[in-house]
Chain A
Amino acid sequence: MKVTVDEDKCCGAGQCVLIAPEVFDQREDDGIVILLEHEPGEGRHVAVREAAAVCPGAAIEVTDTE
């Protein structure tokens, strides 16, 4: 799984960090998303998909590799 984020669409709501804190963080100075892991491990896939689905800015994109 590959994850990308679009900072311009992010509205800093922090949903992704609440759901998958190992994969997403927020910048200290404006709350915009930081991607910690571009290719998260198997065990995190469910949480990452949930974060992408509920992100209010539609800022998270998930693509399946293999």
Chain B
Amino acid sequence: MSLDEQVLSYPIPSDAALEPPAEWAELRSKCPVAHVTLPSGDQATLLTRYEDVKRVLADPRFTRQLNAPDAARLSAEGDGVFSSEMAQIIPDGGDEHQHWRRLVGKWFTAKRMAALRPSMEQIAERLIDDMVKCGPPCDLKAGLGFPLPVYVICDMLGVPAADRERFSYWSDALLNLTRYSRAEMEAAQGEFFQYMSDHVATKRAEAGDDVLSELIAAGGPEDGGLTDLQILVTGMALLVAGHETTANMIGKMVSMLLADRSRWERLLADPSLIRTAVEEALRLDANSGFGLPRYLRDETEVSGTVLPRGTTVVCSMAAANRDESVFEGAAEMDLRRSPNAHLAFGVGAHSCLGQALARTELQVVLEVLLRRLPSLELAVPVEELERVEGLAVGGLRTVPVRW
């Protein structure tokens, strides 16, 4: 049966942890607007071509209002405890969203990120010291990928180093749909909320050099700033949006580079390739998670197919990032590829607010690893790497390495 006659189940499983499912290429060429069934049993429309994904993500008629009564549910269990409540407090679209974004975005400029680099390097150095003490072998995900982004976000929020482990736990409990029970997730969310609420009060009393103090200094809503509740939820959202994504990407990036060790060797010989290598790892990530769902308010057309209002569309950026009509040798990992306008961070008004931070973290990790552990290699055959189950964010269960 050909793809356009059957209804595919989405997400489409892949046999290999770092490779895409074969269906992507076929969908892009023959069925760019495909009907799929989500884990909830609801129907949606899957887009896999670069131009379509890019256009839809930049088009405000495709909203993020997945709570509309006729929008598809992603999974039968609901979409995590956090997402829906957060969406009600942080504006989700239009001018109010742009206003929020500009207030927070101030903290994420490229210059600020460059200033954070030395402290990120120090964090990476210390974590690698600990890896060296207990290995080889060692799980790079647990030793470096998972802790580094939490520590960076804690610094950014002005949270003392002593509380980093609690943040790690809360983040994991909020997003890890398989490891924790619903009761544990709700308890974690309650504790995290309480902590942040006290923390914002502390910052209000005594400002520091952190993003929350800066948001407080912008004044209340009457002065063009945010409410305390919005500030607090913004802080929580930064952890949720920026931890698991970056943590997993560190593991996937290093695995991709070590899967064919000549890539690692090229980087050792020429570290000036680090920046483009990070972009190429983001582009080629075949396991980036669910993709971005959007809900369509008005009828429109995509690649010649009419989509009725009320359609739920799923944009697969990972499939779009391998579109041969846009990227030459799209399946190859080209560490020098430039320009590399991949869609891993989305596009347009909602594209990842933390992308300059994520890029800087990935570059720093790679730089420090190449310098400290040049003999790094995977400790298991690449076929044995396993994907994390669950919907939220794609990643590898562990990344066993030696050196």
Contact = CB atoms under 8 A, between A and B. Distances in A.
B252 to A, nearest CB: 20
A57 interface: yes
B340 interface: yes
Contact of A17 (B110, B338, B339): B110
Contact of A11 (B107, B351, B359): B351
Interface string A29-55: 111100000000000000001100110
B352 A30 contact: no
Contacts of B341: 53-54
Contacts of A50: 338-339
Contact of A30 (B103, B348, B355, B359): B103
B133 interface: no
A31 B102 contact: yes
Nearest to A24: B110
Contacts of A57: 347-349, 351
Nearest to B339: A53
Interface residues of B, number: 27
Contacts of A30: 102-103, 105-106
A51 to B, nearest CB: 8
B116 interface: no
Contacts of B345: 13, 56
B109 interface: yes
* Residue from the set B101, B107, B110, B356 with the largest chain A CB neighbour count within 10 Å: B110
Nearest to A8: B98
B110 A18 contact: yes
A4 interface: no
Contacts of B106: 12, 28-31
A58 B58 contact: yes
Contacts, number: 76
Interface string B330-357: 0000000011110001111101110110
A18 B356 contact: yes
Contacts of A18: 110, 113, 356, 359
Contacts of B349: 11, 57
Contact of A13 (B102, B103, B340, B356): B356
B96 to A, nearest CB: 15
B348 A17 contact: no
A58 B99 CA distance: 19
A32 B103 CA distance: 11
Contact of A14 (B101, B103, B356): B356
Nearest to B346: A56
Nearest to A13: B355
B58 A26 contact: no
* Residue from the set A13, A29, A49 with the largest chain B CB neighbour count within 10 Å: A13
A10 to B, nearest CB: 10
Interface string B91-132: 000000000011101111111010000000000000000000
Given A15-B355, A56-B348, A49 B109 contact: no
B380 to A, nearest CB: 34
B108 A12 contact: yes
A18 B339 CA distance: 13
Contact of B108 (A14, A25, A28, A58): A14
Contact of A26 (B110, B340, B347, B352): B110
Q: 9 tightest CB-CB pairs across the interface, nearest first? A: A14-B110, A17-B110, A53-B339, A30-B102, A31-B105, A12-B105, A56-B351, A14-B356, A26-B109
25 contacts: A11-B349, A11-B351, A11-B353, A12-B102, A13-B351, A13-B356, A14-B109, A14-B356, A15-B110, A15-B355, A17-B110, A18-B113, A18-B356, A18-B359, A21-B110, A26-B110, A29-B106, A30-B103, A31-B108, A54-B339, A56-B351, A56-B355, A57-B348, A57-B349, A58-B58
Interface of A: 11-15, 17-18, 21, 25-26, 28-32, 49-50, 53-54, 56-58
Given A14-B355, A31-B105, 10 more contacts: A15-B355, A17-B110, A18-B113, A18-B356, A30-B103, A30-B105, A31-B109, A32-B102, A57-B347, A57-B348
